[in-house]
Amino acid sequence: MKLKSIVLSALLLFGTVACVEPSYDSDKVRVVEVTEHDFELNGQSAVTIFVGEKNTPKFSFTILKSDLKKGTLLQSTSNSEPNLAVSASVGSEYYTQSADFDTSASVQIVELDKTNKIAKIAVGAKLVNPKIKNYTELAVTVVEVSGVNYDYLVK
């Protein structure tokens, strides 16, 4: 009888632990959200991908839906690419691309797998807060868009 109680207790404990949200590297940059509503950039259908750490959006990358093709590379130096809008929020500070400062941003569609509904996108940016002349950077990182965020990306 004691063995049965131990086994049942162990199964109950395992079942409770198994229901806990899966662990992940909370400091890893990941896609936090993809816009689900329709909007435009330069008069064309666009989508915004929010990336950050610990499920907190920090950087936003807005691209045209027509640029969602494997291999597409968008690069902007000092806000030179009109079809790429990038910004960041760090606390109460807002960072953006600027023609007046040394800023840069890039987005590359690495993979767009319609069968498995997964997109891999390389993103990177160096943005400025022009008021305080301070920079924030995101080294080029490949992020994965999947699930409902993939649906929003390609809709």
Instruction: Report whether pLDDT(134) > 80.
Output: yes
pTM assigned to the model: 0.81
The stretch 69-86 carries a mean pLDDT of 96
Question: Is there a contact between 140 and 122 (Cβ–Cβ < 8 Å)?
Answer: yes
Using left for φ > 0, alpha for ψ between -120 and 50, and beta otherwise, residue 4 falls in alpha
**How confident is residue 3, by pLDDT bands cut at 50, 70 and 90?**
very low
**pLDDT given for residue 25 in this prediction:** 52
**How confident is residue 24, by pLDDT bands cut at 50, 70 and 90?**
very low
Instruction: Report whether pLDDT(129) > 70.
Output: yes
The stretch 101-106 carries a mean pLDDT of 97
**pLDDT given for residue 21 in this prediction:** 38
Interatomic CA distance for residues 96 and 87, integer angstroms? 4
Question: Is there a contact between 65 and 42 (Cβ–Cβ < 8 Å)?
Answer: no
